[in-house]
Structure 1
Amino acid sequence: MSIAADQALAEDPTTSDEVLFGRLSHRDWHVRWSAAQNPGAGDAVRLAALATGDKHLASAVGQLGDTLSLEVRDAVCAHPRREGREGLALTANDRTTLDRLVADPDPKVRAAVAQPDHRPADLMRLLARDRRAEVRAAVAASTTIPDDLALELLADRSAVVRWSLLTMRDGDLRFARALVDDPDEMNRAHARFMLFQAGERAEH
C-alpha cells in the first residue's frame, strides 16, 4: 500500500483501532502522527501511541488537549517525554489538568501553560513566581495577564523577563518609561527607542 493510501487510512475517522495500531509504527512520520491524532480513535490507540516512547507521538497525543479522556490526559501528564506534556500544556483548559502541569518538573512545560491567552489569573500569578526565568518570561509575554501583575514583573531580577514585558507591549509606554534606566543594556536601548518613536525624549 502506498504512503498516500496509508495516510488516508490514518486520517479517516472510520478507520478501526486495529488498523490504526499498525499505522503507529509506519515508516512515514506523517502517517504515525495522523494515526495518533485520528479523530475516531479510541483511548487504546492514544495509549498505544504514548507507549511507543516516541516524542513526536507523545506530542501528537498531548496536543489533543481537552478532547482526550481523563485516563489519557493522566497518562500524558505522567509520560516521561516532555513533548507530550508540553503539547497538553499548550492546548488544555481543564483546570485539574493545568494544576498538574503547573507543578511539572520541566520548566518548558510550565512555560507552555502560560502561553495561551486568558489563562486564570491565579494560575498566572503562581507561574510569575516560578524559580525559572523562562517560565516567568512566558507569563510576562502574555498580554492578557492582569495589569497589576505585569507591572509587578517590572521588578523581576531577570533581564529576559523584563525584555518580554517590554517587547510584547510596544504600544504601552508605561513599560518603556519604567525600563529606560534598566541595568540591562538591550532593555535600556529598546525602551529609549520606543520613547523616541513615540516622540518622547528620555532625559537620562
Structure 2
Amino acid sequence: MTLADDEALAAAAGTPDDVLIQLLSHRNWHVRWEAAQNSEASDAVRLAALATGDKDLAAAVGQLGDALSSTVLEAVFDHPKRDGREQLGCVVRDRATQERLASGPDVKVRASLAVSNEDLPEDLVRKLAADRRAEVRACVAKRRSLPEDLVIAFASDRSANVRWWLLCMRDTPEVAALLREDPDEMTRNHARRVLGEPLT
C-alpha cells in the first residue's frame, strides 16, 4: 500500500478499530493523526492513541473537544503531555470543561484557552484576565474582543508584554491614548505612531 492509501484508510469511515490502532504506530505522522481522529473510532482507539505517549497524538485527541466521551476526556486530563489539554482548550464549548481548564495548574493550557477559544464566556475571560501569570493575561489581551473595562485595566497591567499585546491587537487612537506615556519604550512609541505624535 502507498502512503496515500494508508492516509485514506486512517481517515475512512468504517475502518475497523484494530486497523486504526495499528495505524497509530505508522511511520508517517499524518496517518497517525488521521487514525486518532477517525470520526467513527471507538474510545479504545482514542485511549490507545493517548497510551502511545506521543504528544502529537494527544493533541489530535484533544482537538476533538466536545466529541470526546467522559472516559477519554479524563484520560486527556490525566495525560503526562499537556498538548491534548492545550488543543482541548482551543475548541471545547462545554462549560464545565472550560472551567476546569481555566483553573488548571498548567500556564500554557490556560493561555491556550484564553487566546484561542472563541466560545469562552465572559466570566471565564475575566477570570483569566486576572491570572497571576502574565503569559495568560497577555493571551487574554490578544483576544479579538474584550469588554471595555478590561481594555482599560490591561493598559495599566504590570506586565509590559500584556500592554504591548493590548496595543498590537487594538491599535486604535482610543487605546493608543491610554499607552502614549507607557514606561515601556516599544509600547510607548508604537502608541505615539498610531497617534501621529513624536517618538521618545
> TM-score range with shorter-chain normalisation?
over 0.9
Percent identity reads 57
TM-aligned CA distance change 1:147 to 1:118, over 3 Å: farther
Aligned counterpart, 1:126: 127
* Unmatched runs of 5 consecutive residues or more in structure 2: none
Aligned counterpart, 2:180: 180
Once structures 1 and 2 are overlaid, which stretch shifts more, 112-121 or 60-69?
A: 112-121
Q: Write out the 4+ residue segments of structure 1 that deviate beyond 4 Å after TM superposition.
A: none
Aligned counterpart, 1:46: 46
Aligned counterpart, 2:167: 166
User: What SS does structure 2 have at the residue aligned with 1:60?
Assistant: helix
Q: CA deviation at 1:118?
A: 4.5
Q: Any conservation in 1 of the 2:36–2:49 contact (CA below 8 Å)?
A: yes
Aligned counterpart, 1:11: 11
Once structures 1 and 2 are overlaid, which stretch shifts more, 36-45 or 101-110?
A: 101-110
The answer to whether the aligner puts 1:99 opposite 2:109 as a matched pair is no
Q: Any conservation in 2 of the 1:77–1:85 contact (CA below 8 Å)?
A: yes
Give 1:1-204 correspondences, 5 Å limit: 1-115=1-115, 116-170=117-171, 172-196=172-196, 201=197
Q: Any conservation in 1 of the 2:110–2:128 contact (CA below 8 Å)?
A: yes
- After TM superposition, the score normalised by the length of structure 1 is 0.93
* Unmatched runs of 5 consecutive residues or more in structure 1: none
Q: CA deviation at 1:89?
A: 0.6
What's the CA shift string for 1:97-153, capped at 9, x where partnerless? 111111222211101111222421110111111111110001111122211112111
TM-aligned CA distance change 1:165 to 1:118, over 3 Å: farther
**In structure 2, how many angstroms separate the alpha carbons of the residues matched to 1:77 and 1:164?**
29
**In structure 1, how many angstroms separate the alpha carbons of the residues matched to 2:150 and 2:68?**
32
Count of aligned positions: 199
User: What SS does structure 1 have at the residue aligned with 2:191?
Assistant: helix
